[in-house]
């Protein structure tokens, strides 16, 4: 009798497992079918001939990821990079904080095999090829590579660039690292669509020349040579460079700049100068915002009537050093029960500040601003002191309404359902932080 019940339980369990498997297969097929019929929600915007803009969560395009095989909204930023590499005839110079996408690595190896000179610079924390498939591909393909220890140091603040120069004519740059999470999404989180990021493809000999100069300063004489690479503050200051294009005015600056130099000449100083020229609107989409002097400039613009909207990554928006608190008129002590240096809650706070609703696992990794629907600030540079005075960073200011329209659409997408102001749950979040600080600091 006991054996009968044991066999019965096993048959029941096997039946249940078979039913679950069949149900899972049906769900997968239905999910795949819904993906196969996915259509763009928006019409594509016109692109400028010299500066094209792409977003990995754009609702104006659809693509199928090559790794998780998910069909989703967005521009395939990885394919943008691969296509640029495939077009190379002489050189590819790539400087990116982190690279773990195998298809990009394979494209670089293929380019070298057809006679293209390929050089790669990574941040030292991400340069170990022992466990990263993409880096193993580069190593086996004998791709020349250095990181920010090639100057003889333990590494710069961060080699935080995200740019590639092809044939000294074309530049691909923006906020995205060349990683699964930076472009497509986390492998183990089905809902993830990658950290919200942008890449720009620019066709200009003048722009490419400046990026190549920056690359060469970091490269030195390459792997195995003298310790003559220059990273971080070892580089001479790079003043903002204006560049005229047929339909755009562009300013390029590379960080860092030592704190012994005037702040207004730094990358963050350039940001403040551009913001000071606003007439009616400023939209900010930022991973982190902790630069007090930029916040002070924004307050002046707000008092003069400029409408400001700001979205900051949920992981940073309400930290004690976040300038979002100043903009909201909030003062919260840090973990040491001290106010952050320079903390200045606005006398006339605004409520259009908060964080976007993002897919599970994703971050708001953008570093852009749109001013008066005509000017864009964008690059790898976070709006922080560390980015400004320690890291290798790219900062671009682009005056072009066609380019600005793309970033305005991306901001509006993120702002459709944000957590901003007292009516969107922000009051409860801030009240919780105040109460925690009160208990911790016996206020």
d(CA 325, CA 346): 9
Provide the pLDDT confidence category of residue 283 given band limits of 50, 70 and 90.
very high
Structure tokens at 261: 């130099």
User: Angle at CA 177, nearest 5°, toward 176 and 182?
Assistant: 70
Domain boundaries, the chain: 45-228, 237-443
pLDDT tens string 151-209: 999 998 999 999 999 999 999 999 999 999 999 999 999 999 999 999 999 999 999 99
Mean pLDDT of the chain: 89
| This prediction's pTM | 0.88
Please provide the DSSP assignment of 39-73 as one string.
--SSPPPP--SSEEEEETT-SS-EEE-SSS--EEE
- 212 burial (CB, 10 Å; 0-12 / 13-18 / 19+) is middle
pLDDT beyond 70 at 342: no
pLDDT digits (tens, 9 = 90+) for 311-325: 999 999 988 899 999
pLDDT tens for each residue of 55-94: 999 999 999 999 999 999 999 999 999 999 999 999 999 9
User: Is residue 377 over pLDDT 90?
Assistant: yes
Furthest CA-CA distance within the chain: 89
Fold for the domain defined by 45-228: Endonuclease; Chain A (3.30.870)
- State the first-to-last Cα distance of the chain, in angstroms, to the nearest integer: 71
**pLDDT band for position 443 (cuts 50, 70, 90):** low
Q: Packing angle between helix 292-303 and helix 267-275, nearest 10 degrees? A: 10
What's the CA gap between 155 and 158, in Å, rounded?
7
Q: Do domains 45-228 and 237-443 have the same CATH topology?
A: yes
Neighbours of 240 (CB within 10 A): 16
The hierarchical CATH code for the domain 237-443 is 3.30.870.10
Give yes or no for a contact between 54 and 200, defined as CB atoms under 8 angstroms apart: yes
Q: Coil, helix or strand for 215?
A: helix
Predicted local distance difference test score (pLDDT) of residue 348: 97
pLDDT category, 426, cuts 50, 70, 90? low
SS3 category, 317: coil
């Amino acid at each position: 009798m006991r054996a009968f019940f044991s066999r019965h339980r096993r048959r029941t369990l096997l039946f249940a497992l078979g039913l679950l498997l069949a149900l899972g297969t049906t769900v997968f097929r239905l999910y795949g079918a819904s993906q196969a019929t996915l259509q763009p929600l928006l019409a594509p915007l016109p692109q400028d001939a010299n500066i094209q803009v792409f977003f990995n969560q754009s609702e104006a395009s659809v693509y199928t990821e090559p790794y998780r095989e998910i069909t989703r909204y967005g521009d395939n930023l990885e394919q943008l990079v691969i296509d640029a590499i495939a077009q190379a005839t002489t050189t590819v110079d790539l400087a990116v904080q982190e690279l773990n996408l195998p298809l990009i690595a394979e494209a670089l190896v293929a380019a070298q095999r057809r006679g293209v000179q390929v050089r790669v610079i990574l941040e030292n924390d991400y340069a170990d090829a022992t466990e990263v498939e993409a880096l193993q591909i580069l190593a086996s393909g004998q791709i020349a590579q250095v990181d920010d220890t090639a100057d003889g140091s333990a590494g710069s603040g961060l080699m935080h660039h995200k740019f590639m120069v092809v044939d000294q004519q074309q530049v691909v740059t923006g906020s995205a690292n060349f990683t699964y999470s930076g472009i497509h999404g986390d492998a183990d989180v089905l809902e993830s669509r990658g950290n919200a990021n942008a890449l720009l493809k620019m066709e200009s000999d003048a722009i490419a020349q400046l990026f190549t100069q920056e690359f060469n300063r970091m490269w030195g004489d390459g792997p195995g040579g003298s310790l003559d690479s220059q990273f971080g503050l070892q580089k001479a200051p790079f003043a903002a460079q204006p560049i005229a294009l047929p339909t755009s005015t562009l300013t390029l600056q590379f960080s860092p700049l030592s704190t012994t130099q005037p702040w207004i000449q730094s990358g963050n100083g350039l940001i403040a100068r551009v913001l000071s020229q606003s007439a009616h609107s400023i939209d900010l989409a930022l991973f982190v915002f902790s630069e007090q002097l930029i916040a002070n400039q924004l307050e002046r613009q707000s008092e003069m009537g400029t409408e400001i909207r700001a979205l900051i990554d949920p992981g940073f928006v309400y930290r004690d050093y976040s300038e979002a608190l100043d903009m909201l008129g909030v003062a919260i002590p840090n973990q040491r029960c001290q106010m952050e240096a320079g903390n200045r809650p606005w006398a006339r706070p605004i409520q259009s500040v908060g964080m976007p609703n993002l897919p599970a696992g994703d971050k708001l990794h953008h570093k852009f601003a749109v001013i008066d629907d005509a000017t864009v600030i964008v690059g790898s540079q976070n709006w922080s002191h560390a980015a400004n005075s320690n890291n290798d960073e790219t900062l671009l200011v682009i005056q072009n309404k066609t380019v600005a329209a793309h970033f305005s659409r991306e901001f509006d997408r993120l702002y459709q359902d944000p957590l901003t102001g007292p009516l969107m749950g922000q009051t409860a979040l801030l009240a919780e932080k105040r109460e925690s600080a009160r208990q911790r600091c016996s206020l």
